[in-house]
Structure 1
Amino acid sequence: MSPVVILEFPSNLGLKAPSPGHEPGVRKLPSWLKQHQFHSLINPSATITLEPPPYTMLLDKASGVRNADAIIEYAKKQANLLQEVIESNSFALILGGDCSILIGNAVSLKRIGRYGLFYLDGHHDFMLPALSGTGGAAGMDTAIVTGHGHEKLTDIGGLKPYFNEQHVWCIGNREYDTDYVRPVLESSIHYQDLIAFRKQGANDCVNDFFSMVESEKLDGFLIHLDVDVLDDDVMPAVDSRTTGGITYAELDAVLLPLLRSGKAVGLEITILDPELDPAGLYTKQFVEQFCRIFNDAMVSVSQ
């Protein structure tokens, strides 16, 4: 079993302020999870925290993305830390923050090899600034990491694209508006909304992903888990709520084989906002369920 290193990347730079003068609460996610015994249940070999630049609502004119320069600055520092963890043969358990942390993680993986991405999210996040109502990179991250958008974000270090489209599985979207869905359907990303995912089933979905990883001779893959992929009844503490979502049983059916494969080099968790769960009711359930899945999988890998 590889040592597990928790990387805390509590950036909220990819989100629009929920109200004037109030920054998004996802920056508190790592400390909130620790308060609810996440870290003690995982028992990592180390915990590393990278503080993000100060939050602003600055809209970058060149890219059309809020806080673009700060996100790039942070992404480069993330990439250095994640590279060290992976090259030490440790598993990276990454706590956000919002989904823009994917950018730095993707840069890191592109530096060291050829990797895939299994993207579990209640939104596909394959959006360009022209279609965004917020200018937030958290809603554009799959587009950015596959090379779409301004080159200051998509070509950090001359590494564009960080993931090839055909190496990305995007699962769980439940925003079905035609204009929203069209860009990802026109890409080469393997996209399944929640309805299609349930029709195929978790087992076949994951096996198709494994077949791609093997046939493309990838070095491994990263798992993205935005907690808004979960059913709104069990995880409403997110910035963009939508009815429905996957159950914890379905999450188990997806994550267990992915983690047990031995090909996953890391997993990032994003978007749980402690300010939207002040009593910790939903957080406690998430910590219990996720840590059970993760620890079961890691034990299996070691056997």
Structure 2
Amino acid sequence: MKKIIIVEFPSNLGLKEPHPGKEPGVKNLPEWLRQHNLHKALNPESVLRLEAPDYTNFRDPETQILNTDSLVAYAVKQSQLINSVLTKDQFPFILGGDCSILLGSAIALRQKGNYGLFYLDGHTDFMDISLSETGGVGGMAASIVTGNGHKKLTDILDLCPYIKEENLWCAGNREYDDEYEDEIRKSKATYLSLKELRERGITECVQLFLAAIENLDGFWLHIDVDVLNDLIMPCVDSRTPDGLTYDEFNELTFILFKSNKLAGLEITILDPDLDLTGKYTATFVENITAVFNKARQL
């Protein structure tokens, strides 16, 4: 069994300000999860941390994206750290941060081989910059890592694409808007909206994914907590009605967690500033650690 290494990437570089002069609070997520016993429950071999560059609300004039240069510099350092973990045949359990931390993960995977990506999120994050009102990479992360967008972000270290588009499975979106969804529909990625995920059956969908990536070097799991139902996970930056129940979330993640093709995972978007009592965080930690530990014991 691979040793677990918790890796902390406390970055908010991919999000807009919630209001003028206020930084997004997701940069405090790793410490917040520690306070709610995630680290204790996972009992990792070690905990590694890479501080993010300072946040600004500055849009790069060349890309029209927030914090472009900082994101690129951070992604390179992230990839080096993840690469060292993977080289030792350890399991990186990554705590963000916003969804832009995927860039570092994807670069590391590209350096290791040919990997799939299961993108579990309440949004597709497959948006073109032309549709973005904020310029935040958080809403474009899945698109960028599969080679869509400005070269400054899609071709870091001359590795474009980090994940082949056909090896991306995007599951859980409930932002039902044709213009928004058409971006991923016209791609080579597999798109499973929340509606389709339920209609086809969660277990069947996940098994189809595992069959599809069987001949790859492995796969990565991205978990944006806003994939969960808004009633049980309201402490996110972009709230949307509906979402997975914990029963559905646990069914889905359990199958992925027990796969020997899973190279690592990352958790993003839970904002401690929006869960002052820790009520929602505590429940999330209880669920994900119980399912993860159970899957690893098989």
Which TM-score applies when normalising by structure 2? Answer: 0.99
Q: Which of the residues 275, 284, 287 maps onto 1:286? A: 284
Hey, what's the Cα distance between the residues in 2 that align with 1:211 and 1:284? 34
Query: Which residues of 2 match residues 154-173 of structure 1 at below 5 A?
Result: 154-173=154-173
Displacement of 1:116 in angstroms is 0.3
Aligned to 2:116: 116
Matched letter for residue 188 of structure 2: S
Aligned to 1:181: 181
Aligned to 1:83: 83
Matched letter for residue 244 of structure 2: I
Matched letter for residue 282 of structure 1: Y
Displacement of 1:298 in angstroms is 1.2
Identity %: 51
Hey, what's the Cα distance between the residues in 2 that align with 1:258 and 1:282? 23
Matched letter for residue 40 of structure 1: K
Matched letter for residue 274 of structure 1: P
SS in 2 for 1:169: strand
Matched letter for residue 2 of structure 1: K
Aligned to 2:262: 264
Aligned to 1:240: 238
Q: Structure 1 residue 252 and structure 2 residue 250: aligned?
A: yes
Hey, what's the Cα distance between the residues in 2 that align with 1:177 and 1:128? 14
Aligned to 1:195: 195
Hey, what's the Cα distance between the residues in 2 that align with 1:74 and 1:266? 19
SS in 1 for 2:230: coil
Moved over 4 A (4+): none
Displacement of 1:6 in angstroms is 0.3
Displacement of 1:230 in angstroms is 0.2
Query: Which residues of 2 match residues 1-303 of structure 1 at below 5 A?
Result: 1-214=1-214, 217-300=215-298
Displacement of 1:211 in angstroms is 1.2
Displacement of 1:65 in angstroms is 0.7
Hey, what's the Cα distance between the residues in 1 that align with 2:205 and 2:32? 32
Hey, what's the Cα distance between the residues in 2 that align with 1:271 and 1:170? 17
Hey, what's the Cα distance between the residues in 1 that align with 2:202 and 2:291? 15
Hey, what's the Cα distance between the residues in 1 that align with 2:124 and 2:227? 10
Hey, what's the Cα distance between the residues in 2 that align with 1:48 and 1:156? 23
In structure 2, list runs of 5 or more residues that go unmatched.
none
Matched letter for residue 34 of structure 2: K
Hey, what's the Cα distance between the residues in 2 that align with 1:285 and 1:266? 22
Matched letter for residue 128 of structure 1: D
Hey, what's the Cα distance between the residues in 2 that align with 1:249 and 1:86? 31
Hey, what's the Cα distance between the residues in 2 that align with 1:77 and 1:15? 20
Displacement of 1:103 in angstroms is 0.6
Displacement of 1:238 in angstroms is 0.1
Hey, what's the Cα distance between the residues in 1 that align with 2:104 and 2:136? 16
SS in 1 for 2:216: coil
Hey, what's the Cα distance between the residues in 2 that align with 1:241 and 1:166? 28
Hey, what's the Cα distance between the residues in 1 that align with 2:37 and 2:155? 38
SS in 2 for 1:100: helix
Matched letter for residue 230 of structure 1: L
Hey, what's the Cα distance between the residues in 1 that align with 2:297 and 2:136? 38
Displacement of 1:173 in angstroms is 0.3
1:143-171 per-residue CA deviation (whole Å, 9 max, x = no partner) reads 10000000010000110001111111100
Matched letter for residue 251 of structure 1: F
Hey, what's the Cα distance between the residues in 1 that align with 2:102 and 2:220? 10
Hey, what's the Cα distance between the residues in 2 that align with 1:127 and 1:61? 19
Q: Which stretch shifts more, 268-277 or 243-252? A: 243-252
The RMSD of aligned alpha carbons is: 0.6
Matched letter for residue 80 of structure 1: Q
Hey, what's the Cα distance between the residues in 1 that align with 2:90 and 2:176? 38
Hey, what's the Cα distance between the residues in 2 that align with 1:61 and 1:129? 13
